[in-house]
Structure 1
Amino acid sequence: MAVDENYQRKLEDQKRLFKQLGIKFDALTIHEKDFTTKMRGYSQEDVDFFLDDVILDYERFYKIITDLLDKYNELQRRQTYEKERVMAEKERVHEEKERAFARAQALENGVDKSVVTEAIVSLERTIAQMRARLQEDRSDKY
């Protein structure tokens, strides 16, 4: 029985994945298995029907496993992105704090007090925005 090229490729991918997972049989191996018949043995037709059902189950398992792996990889990608975004936000806040501190130092050296107040208000606003974003991100994840 000939198997079309796309299906053959799918079965080869399945075989590779199952080998990585330590699973001995794949749909192609089951499909290609021949049993010898002996007197009073099992019905060849019954065995073929049973193995066809086993093959269908293996194909379902393969689809489930690949879907789960795709979802896992997507979650890993998102997690990496979120970590990078949070680090960038922390760096931005740190720089904002340093600017505010520099303005405060300048104020101590005779600079107008309104400049420092403005820097502090700006910093507090930035911190509040960051907390709101982090809270949104946490609520989106759960």
Structure 2
Amino acid sequence: MATRKNKDDAAGTTSRQPGHEKPSASPPSTTGNTRDDAWARRVLDRLKSELWNPASRLDQLGEARMDEILERLRVELWTSPVDARERDAWADRIIRKLRDDLWSMASGDSRRPPTPDETSRVDAILARLKHELWDR
């Protein structure tokens, strides 16, 4: 007989304490294309690993602020057209939006420009993400 934990795992859910819920990993497919959905998940996972990389020093921003950026990206990934003709422009737009968000978060003040160190950390993360966006 399966235990409660095993049943939860088989259903793709986990029993969490109240107040510790995370947003779902992915919304239902809007593209109808499982290859695009898998790609979007991979991009999101890649960004999350880059943001939480201690070498980036952006991990000091805090989990709530990182989750906010990841949630905005998740919505963008699943609501934007991702066909081959539009992918380059779409990826550039995502990169620009993320750069603005990350610079603002890295500096802690959206009214001041980022320092050269903040800029280089954010640009390094975004360069790796941009590579991932085109590397299908």
TM-score normalised according to structure 2 size: 0.29
Q: Which has the higher contact order (CA 8 A, sep 6+)?
A: 2
Which entry has the higher C-alpha Rg, 1 or 2? Answer: 1
